[in-house]
Chain A
Amino acid sequence: MAKITFETADGKEQTLEIANGLSVMEGAVKGMVTGIDADCGGACSCATCMVYVSPEWSERLPPQSSDEKAMLEFSPHVAETSRLSCQIKVVDELDGLRVKVPASQH
């Protein structure tokens, strides 16, 4: 279980407890975080679950797969710190993770 904080584009913050084994995206969708569309349901096929991870957390996350990298590279609003939240599995070590959600995924 990890407490993860989502900062949405309107400046609001939402902290959710997400069970291990779920993805950060699944936790966000169930917790009704605005701005994470997750159209493909976690199949790494849509890039509408993109979040920005703070630099200090970036290094602590598992590295991107080549698929994730390719999907991200050409998604709108992408930045250095972007990750696909469906590709980040929740483990205890992610407790305290903070991510920013873009205003739009399209």
Chain B
Amino acid sequence: MAAVESLVVIGAGHAAGQLVACLAQDGFAGAITLVGDEPHPPYQRPPLSKKFLAGEMDADRLYLKPAAFYDKYGAKLLLGRRVTRIDRQARTAVLEDGSQLEYSALVIATGSRPRRLALPGAELDGVFYLRGIDDVMTIRGRFAAGKSLVVVGGGYIGLELAAVAVRQGLRVSVLEQAPRLMARGVGAIVSRFYERLHREEGVVLHTGAAVLGFEGRNAVEHVVCGNDRVVADIVVIGAGAVPNVELAQEAGLTVENGIVVNERCLTGDPAIYAIGDCTNQFHPLFDRRLRFESVHNALEQARMVAAAICGRALPAIQVPWFWSDQYDVKLQMAGLPDKHTESVVRGNPDHGRCFSVFYLADGALIAVEAVNRAADFMMSKVLIAERAHVDRAKLADERVAVKDSRLV
């Protein structure tokens, strides 16, 4: 493959930032331009609903690299600018103002955006979504003890936000449409635990809630939920995310729940890669195509593209993993549980704040959800990668280390 002379990256988020860091490490000699529509250089989002929201961390510490780093490596950052079109024939990315960036390789790293709810009153002042630094600054600016916060959607972002807010003395309600919390991300046992946790901490939870709209004169005052009206000074909607695939779609690339890419993150066009939340890729461990919204996936795919561009061997595929911090509880998950045939619990989910759930398919460990049990998480990651068969009784026994449940 010919050396890449000019690399253009659309999006300047977590995946894009990691890609530049990898290329710098690899001594990539071509020109790099990052175009990002946020005014910030690449930053990490996880603290946005955790320590940064709580005011325990300043914005500086969110940035993946200091600004000087990009200068030093000759990577140009075009921030606050948007790519509106990809011209595959001319090999250019076209910006809002009509200016064009020529590329010999293009990386689409456009991430995902919050799913908007088309409900009456959703445009009222006081109704927010949480995706970027600027969203947090606005939401945090409205926080004050005694105010009422209604979180629409009981996914992990909404629940992390609820945890921070209730600790700051706000009155917090969470309205979740599904019958249980975090239903898309975790199993029923973990959902039930988080219901107990948030209730113990003073959050009011409604599952199976039908949010119909928002009411207020100048700003939001109520959330209409079924036949009820829930008082709200602040509303944050956390109803999942949709991948930013429109550019790729309009350029004629294949999009099926994300931009379809191969094992090196290449799209159907040999000059265009895609990485991060916006992609859909075959995963050898699970034998199917998947789209992830996780830091781990963004980093792993950035490393794949850096390797592909620099002509290095692809890094080994890792077991996908994710975490969420709420109060003093650390949830760590690895693998994917959806195809499990049985589950094993270690510890007591109904008491205290420390247990794990293991998921098995035909005797092999395929996923884990560890609540304040980092060791279980770490050992399970290894076993899942090996597709190891495990002894259920040992897995359930807290006196036996998870690694010793492996059957030989």
Binding site for B on A (CB under 8 A): 22, 26, 29-30, 32, 34, 37, 39-41, 43-47, 67, 70-71, 73-75, 106
Contact = CB atoms under 8 A, between A and B. Distances in A.
Residue of A32, A44, A47 with highest tally of chain B CB at under 10 A: A32
Contacts of A74: 375, 378-379, 382, 403
B378 A22 contact: no
A26 B323 contact: no
A106 B375 contact: no
Contacts of A32: 21, 24-25, 65, 69
Interface in B352-408: 373-375, 378-379, 382, 403
A59 B2 CA distance: 52
Contacts of A37: 299
27 contacts: A26-B61, A29-B64, A29-B65, A30-B66, A30-B69, A32-B21, A32-B24, A32-B25, A32-B65, A39-B296, A40-B295, A41-B44, A41-B47, A41-B295, A43-B325, A43-B330, A45-B330, A45-B374, A70-B373, A70-B375, A71-B375, A73-B375, A74-B375, A74-B379, A74-B382, A74-B403, A75-B378
Contacts of A73: 375, 378
7 A-B pairs closest in CB distance: A74-B378, A70-B374, A70-B375, A45-B323, A41-B44, A71-B374, A74-B379
B261 to A, nearest CB: 21
Interface of B: 21, 24-25, 44, 46-47, 50, 61, 64-66, 69, 295-296, 299, 315-316, 318, 321, 323, 325, 330, 332, 373-375, 378-379, 382, 403
Given A46-B321, A74-B375, A75-B378, 17 more contacts: A30-B66, A37-B299, A39-B295, A40-B46, A40-B323, A43-B50, A43-B323, A44-B330, A45-B332, A45-B374, A67-B374, A70-B374, A71-B375, A73-B375, A74-B378, A74-B403, A106-B315
B162 to A, nearest CB: 19
B232 to A, nearest CB: 30
B65 A30 contact: yes
Contacts of A75: 378
A70 B316 contact: no
B374 A43 contact: no
Contacts of B378: 47, 70-71, 73-75
A30 to B, nearest CB: 5
Contacts of A40: 46, 295, 323
A34 B27 CA distance: 12
A92 to B, nearest CB: 20
A46 B373 CA distance: 13
B7 to A, nearest CB: 19
A47 to B, nearest CB: 7
Contacts of A106: 315-316, 318
A48 B24 CA distance: 19
Nearest to A37: B299
A34 to B, nearest CB: 6
A29 B18 CA distance: 11
**Most A Cβ at <10 Å: residue of B373, B378, B379:** B378
Contacts of A43: 46, 50, 323, 325, 330
A35 to B, nearest CB: 10
A75 B374 CA distance: 11
Nearest to B378: A74
A37 B296 CA distance: 11
Contacts of A70: 373-375, 378
